[in-house]
């Protein structure tokens, strides 16, 4: 091989640049694989038919024209451009264009406001007021006509207009579904808002909601997540309840792990007591044992209210109670471990000064050590929050009924069981993405801590 | 400070942790051992049966299935994801601008909850889901893709031969020449498609059933393969970050010296990176084995969308024995299986202690 000094410098530079290019290319490719899956799942959560084949990357919910139309129709229907609806005083103008092939007579479409339930699964159970009982459709009038060709066929484009009014006074209704039917031969071309489905060989164009509002159109599955699943006892949104439960549990788990974890970690790192080494080894052992090994007894302990102790707080049992999830995880061995490692890394002199001044270990710990431990506490907060927010197994064991007590991951399983069979994946995916928001926000803000958390837990093996 | 006072303070500091550890770990562990020797249904008092549960377990089909699935899953996923994470880390370890951005992006999938990630993947694996669509697209465009690949290799070979004749020391996959070949191949393929010489194949639809099937591939149920794919995908980034931390400790000069001696990136990877990272690799392998042995969430979320025996793992077997749907709980079986799981985990840890810790790469 030729020695590098003899090689043309341009050749070497060219090679270096090209290598950088290939590295970026590879990085982009792998990144596309990772994020691409999330992206296709995300746009699918906006679709009407999440299992459509072939898969479309562009569809009505992604078109700005429909966004604007949905906004205006929501305004017309309920003076709510975001979520739309159908409220007293509504006057919804709508135009639709059909193609009539040559030799056929143009017949205006027949407009119907059907009594349609808002979907499969949990939503099918709920009985609400129907727009059909309050809506009045004006006669369909022709506004324009022009000759042209459509898919290679000569004929006429006919444009119609009609108005849907809310008659009299009544409740505000969430949705205004509509079906437009034309005789065979005529074809639907376009409308103020793109329809959700074209059925019966193109004869029926069907809208789930003529007055959706921006969010109600683009994020209709997300709106359904909140609207459809409702508590049987209180009627409030289950998904909202689950989110609150998850936050409640995560909050107290984090507080417990920060406080008790750092206390125990400090004792293990700094104080001398008999059995210290044995306790440390036992702690490592407890970190390795799978959760499934200890859950049977823990379940029974919680069922009996921790040896009856919870009766002091008026609770017979901790099953189906958020504290049943919190208590066994209120101080985890890994939190103690992380804090112990951290305390061992800070210089002893800081505390010794306080101890010589006559402060007790408690005072030293709370006044001197904890205030300088913010980096470790920050990493531990993120790690614990993430663990608690994402945890699935233990909440699944403890929280079984009613659905009001679920956490988000358990609730997602309930969604999957209720909607999966019907193939209503839009709503399931929407729920999954909604449940990710807090973690993703945390990740974006505290990225550094996440990465540190990994290297912390990397120490534990 | 007096010894005894210090010990008392320590007890004060440790009290909350010790009570949780005592009740929810030690007591729980001992009780599981006890339950494994009893017949117990959660409602009536446990009845001592000695080793009967264990004897019955190792004759039960479902348990053996669970054991086999778990072992294969754990082994396969660990090998593949460790290797891929290491390769990815080696790529990301290059000193180029914007590498932090890619690190962030790659890490994203692994912070998501297993529930959310699994639901997304169950959708991907539907019969009319995205995976089948993507496979169908690839199959339909195979003629174009293969032509493109062939042209790329052809251009590359011609160029390399040409440069070598000029006496330049080009490697077979010289990046600069590869870029030229890529552009040329792209242009020519595009031209052929525009001319209509090449066209995607029509009427190709992939309808593989990924979840609700009893079919097997290489003796492993297809649904288990689906879980394997999904978990490799979500765990790679975490391990990649650990490897990256380790890679940054390796002096750059070693690579530079190797490059001067004419080592290719692939040679550098196997001859420098892998040996020097051995302690970290051991750590990652152990973490991965422990984690994968406990596979539960994905199995539970897939639920009855796949036949139970093709996805069941030890962890799920334990849960299913204690909370079977519409049957009497068999806590003794569950406890026995749980202890088998614990033993497996312990074996992994002991192996790592035996081989991993004392190893120092350099």
Query: Are B170 and B273 within one domain?
Result: no
Q: Identify the pLDDT of residue B133.
A: 94
In a shared domain, residues B147 and B276: no
pLDDT at B25 over 50: yes
Give chain A's domain count. 3
Q: Tell which phi-psi region holds residue B196, choosing left (phi > 0), alpha (psi between -120 and 50) or beta.
A: left
The reply to whether A272 and A158 lie within a common domain is no
Mutate to test the interface with B, among A2, A49, A276, A289 (most CBs of B within 10 A): A289
How far, in Å, CA of B5 to CA of A342, rounded?
A: 24
pLDDT digits (tens, 9 = 90+) for B303-326: 888 999 899 999 999 999 999 988
B148 and B84 fall within a common domain: no
Q: Residues A258, A395: one domain? A: yes
From chain A residues 243-282, the ones with a CB under 8 A of any chain B CB are: 256, 259-261, 263-264, 266-268, 271-274, 276, 279, 282
Whether residue A182 sits in one domain with residue A75: yes
The pLDDT, as a whole number, for residue B362 is 32
Contact between A39 and B110 (Cβ < 8 Å): no
| One domain for residues B280 and B163 | no
- Biggest alpha carbon distance in chain B? 92
Q: Tell me the C-alpha to C-alpha distance, in Å, between residue B305 and each of A71, B77, B126.
A: 39, 22, 10
Please indicate, yes or no, whether residues A25 and A112 belong to a single structural domain of this protein.
no
Domain boundary among B195, B211, B241: B195
Domain identity same for B257 and B308: yes
Distances (CA, A) of B226 to A394, B210, B220, B246, B347: 24, 6, 11, 31, 27
B131: pLDDT strictly greater than 70: yes
Query: Is residue B117 assigned to a domain?
Result: no
E strand or H helix at B292: helix B278-293
A353 touches chain B (CB under 8 A): no
Residue B118 resides in a domain: no
B152 falls within a domain: yes
Domain containing residue B185:
132-195
What is the reported pLDDT for A1?
Answer: 42
Mean pLDDT, rounded, of chain B: 89
- Which residues of chain A are modeled with pLDDT < 70? 1-7, 118-127, 451-461
The number of folded domains in chain B is 2
Say whether both B177 and B301 belong to one domain: no
Query: What pLDDT sits at residue A456?
Result: 53
B236 and B88 fall within a common domain: yes
Which of 170-199 (B) contact A at CB < 8 A?
174-179
Three-state DSSP string of B287-313: HHHHHHHCCCHHHHHHHHHCCHHHHCC
In three-state secondary structure terms, B4 is helix
Terminal alpha carbon distance of chain B: 43
Whether residue B83 is contained in a domain is answered as: yes
The domain boundary, picked from B157, B179, B195, lies at: B195
- Domain identity same for B231 and B82: yes
Query: Which CATH number is A381's domain given?
Result: 1.10.3720.10
pLDDT at position A334: 92
| pLDDT single digits (tens) B35-78 | 999 999 988 899 999 999 999 999 999 999 999 999 999 999 99
Going from the C-alpha of A295 to that of each of A336, B85, B94, B340, B343, the distances in angstroms are: 21, 32, 45, 15, 16
Q: Do A39 and A69 fall into the same domain?
A: no
Give the position of tokens 């479409």. Answer: A109
Q: Are residues B190 and B250 in the same domain?
A: no
Indicate if B228 and B323 belong to the same structural domain.
yes
CATH at residue B103:
1.10.3720.10
Asked if A425 is an interface residue toward chain B (Cβ–Cβ < 8 A), one would say: yes
Considering only alpha carbons, which residue of chain A is nearest residue B324? A397
Same domain for B286 and B224? yes
Taking Cα atoms as reference points, which of B25, B71, B65 lies closest to residue B293? B71
B185-224 tens-digit pLDDT? 999 999 999 998 888 988 888 888 999 889 889 989 999 9
In a shared domain, residues A326 and A426: yes
Q: What is the dihedral of CA A314, A316, A321, A324, to 10 degrees?
A: 100
Residue A223 lies in a domain: no
Give the range of the structural domain holding residue A245, as residue numbers without chain letter: 238-458
Residue B6 lies in a domain: no
pLDDT at A2: 44
Torsion over CA: A38, A39, A45, A47 (sign): negative
For residues A248 and A382, membership in a common domain is answered with yes
User: Out of B106, B238, B262, whose CB is closest to A454?
Assistant: B238
Contact check, Cβ <8 Å, B120/A447: no
Q: Which two tokens stand for residue B293?
A: 């042995």
Residues A150 and A202 in one domain: yes
SS3 B134: helix
Are A169 and A67 contained in the same domain? yes
CA–CA–CA angle A59, A61, A62 (5° rounding): 70
Is B158 an interface residue toward A (CB < 8 Å)?
no
Dihedral sign, Cα of residue A145, residue A146, residue A148, residue A151: negative
Same domain, B141 and B180: yes
A2 lies in some domain: no
Nearest to A53 among B114, B128, B318 (CB): B128
Buried b (16+ CB within 10 A) or exposed e, A147-157: eeeeeeeebbb
**Beta carbons of A34 and B237 less than 8 Å apart:** yes
Helix (H, G, I), strand (E, B) or coil at B207: coil
Same domain, A92 and A198: yes
Please give the DSSP secondary-structure letter assigned to residue B324.
-
Of A192, A211, A230, the domain-final residue: A211
Q: Is residue B158 part of a domain?
A: yes
Chain B residues touching A366 at Cβ < 8 A:
none
Q: In this structure, are residues B171 and B264 in contact, taking their beta carbons and an 8 Å threshold?
A: yes
A353 & A396 share domain: yes
My answer on whether A292 and A416 are in the same domain is yes
- Could you give the ipTM of this predicted complex? 0.90
Q: Which of B191, B230, B203, B270 is nearest to B80 (CA)?
A: B230
Q: Give pLDDT, residue B86.
A: 92
C-alpha–C-alpha distance, residues A203 and A99, integer Å: 12
User: Is 70 exceeded by the pLDDT of residue B329?
Assistant: yes
Q: What are phi and psi of B271, to 5 degrees?
A: -95, -20
pLDDT at B28: 96
């Amino acid at each position: 091989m030729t020695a590098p000094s003899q090689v043309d410098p341009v050749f070497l530079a060219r090679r270096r640049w090209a290598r950088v290019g290939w590295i970026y290319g590879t990085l982009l490719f792998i990144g596309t694989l990772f994020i691409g899956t999330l992206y296709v799942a995300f746009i699918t959560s906006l679709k009407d038919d999440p299992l459509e084949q072939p898969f479309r990357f562009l569809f009505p919910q992604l078109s700005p024209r429909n966004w604007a139309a949905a906004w205006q129709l929501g305004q017309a229907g309920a003076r709510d451009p975001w979520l739309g609806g159908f409220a007293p005083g509504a006057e919804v103008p709508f135009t639709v264009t059909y193609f009539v092939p040559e030799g056929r007579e143009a017949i205006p479409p027949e407009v119907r406001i059907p009594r349609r339930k808002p979907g499969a699964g949990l939503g099918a159970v709920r009985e609400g007021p129907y727009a059909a009982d309050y809506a009045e459709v004006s006669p369909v009038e022709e506004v324009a006509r022009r000759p042209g060709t459509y898919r290679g066929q000569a004929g006429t484009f006919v444009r119609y207009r009609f108005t849907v009014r809310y008659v009299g006074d009544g409740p505000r209704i969430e949705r205004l579904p509509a079906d437009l039917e034309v005789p065979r031969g005529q074809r639907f071309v376009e409308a103020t808002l793109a329809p959700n489905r074209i059925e019966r060989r193109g004869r029926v164009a069907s809208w789930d909601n003529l007055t959706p509002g921006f969010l109600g159109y683009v994020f209709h599955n997300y709106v359904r997540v909140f609207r459809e699943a409702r508590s049987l006892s209180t009627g409030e949104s289950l998904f909202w309840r689950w989110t609150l439960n998850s936050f409640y549990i995560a909050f107290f788990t984090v507080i417990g792990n920060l406080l008790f974890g750092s206390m125990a970690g400090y004792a293990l790192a700094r104080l001398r007591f008999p059995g210290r080494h044995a306790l440390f080894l036992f702690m490592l052992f407890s970190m390795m044992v799978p959760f499934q090994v200890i859950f049977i007894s823990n379940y029974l302990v919680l069922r009996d209210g921790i040896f009856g102790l919870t009766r002091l707080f008026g609770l017979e049992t901790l099953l189906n109670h958020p504290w049943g999830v919190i208590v066994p995880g209120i101080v985890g061995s890994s939190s103690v471990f992380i804090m112990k490692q951290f305390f061992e890394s800070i210089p002893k002199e800081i505390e010794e000064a306080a101890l010589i001044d006559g402060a007790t270990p408690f005072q030293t710990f709370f006044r001197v050590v904890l205030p300088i431990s913010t980096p470790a506490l920050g990493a531990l907060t993120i790690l614990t929050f993430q663990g608690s927010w994402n945890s699935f197994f233990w909440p699944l064991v403890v929280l079984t009924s009613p659905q009001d007590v679920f956490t988000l991951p358990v609730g997602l399983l309930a969604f999957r069981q209720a909607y999966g069979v019907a193939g209503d994946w839009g709503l399931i995916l929407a729920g999954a993405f909604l449940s990710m928001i807090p973690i993703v926000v945390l990740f974006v803000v505290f990225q550094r801590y996440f990465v540190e958390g990994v290297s912390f837990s990397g120490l534990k093996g | 400070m007096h010894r005894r006072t210090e010990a008392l303070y320590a007890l004060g500091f440790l009290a909350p942790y010790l009570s949780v550890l005592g009740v929810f770990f030690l007591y729980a562990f001992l009780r599981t051992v006890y339950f494994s020797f009893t017949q117990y249904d959660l409602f009536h008092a446990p009845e001592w049966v000695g080793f009967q549960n264990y004897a019955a377990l190792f004759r039960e089909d479902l348990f053996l299935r669970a054991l086999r699935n778990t072992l294969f899953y754990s082994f396969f996923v660990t090998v593949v994801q460790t290797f891929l994470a290491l390769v990815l880390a080696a790529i990301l370890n290059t000193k180029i601008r914007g590498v932090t951005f890619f690190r962030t992006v790659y890490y994203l999938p692994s912070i998501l909850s297993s529930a959310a990630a699994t639901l997304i993947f169950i959708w991907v694996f539907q019969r009319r889901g995205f995976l089948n669509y993507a496979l169908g697209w690839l199959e339909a465009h195979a003629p174009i893709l293969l032509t493109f690949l062939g042209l790329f290799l052809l251009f590359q070979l011609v160029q390399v031969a040409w440069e070598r004749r000029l006496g330049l020391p080009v490697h077979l996959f010289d990046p600069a020449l590869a870029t030229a070949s890529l552009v040329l191949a792209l242009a020519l393929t595009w031209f052929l498609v525009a001319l209509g010489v090449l066209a995607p194949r029509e009427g190709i639809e992939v309808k593989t059933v990924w979840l609700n099937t009893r079919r097997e591939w290489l003796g492993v149920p297809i649904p288990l393969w689906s879980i394997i794919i999904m978990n490799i995908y979500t765990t790679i980034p975490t391990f990649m970050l650990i490897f990256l931390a380790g890679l940054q400790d390796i002096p750059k000069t070693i690579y530079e010296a190797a490059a001067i001696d004419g080592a290719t990136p692939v040679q550098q990877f196997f001859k420098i990176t892998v040996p020097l990272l051995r302690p970290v690799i051991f750590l990652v392998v152990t973490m991965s084995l422990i984690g994968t042995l406990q596979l539960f969430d994905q199995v539970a979320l897939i639920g009855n969308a796949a036949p139970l025996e093709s996805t069941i793992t030890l962890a799920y077997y334990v849960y299913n024995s204690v909370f079977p749907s519409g049957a009497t709980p068999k806590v003794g079986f569950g406890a026995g299986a749980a202890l088998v799981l614990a033993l497996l985990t312990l074996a992994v840890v002991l192996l790592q202690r035996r081989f991993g810790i004392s190893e120092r790469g350099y």
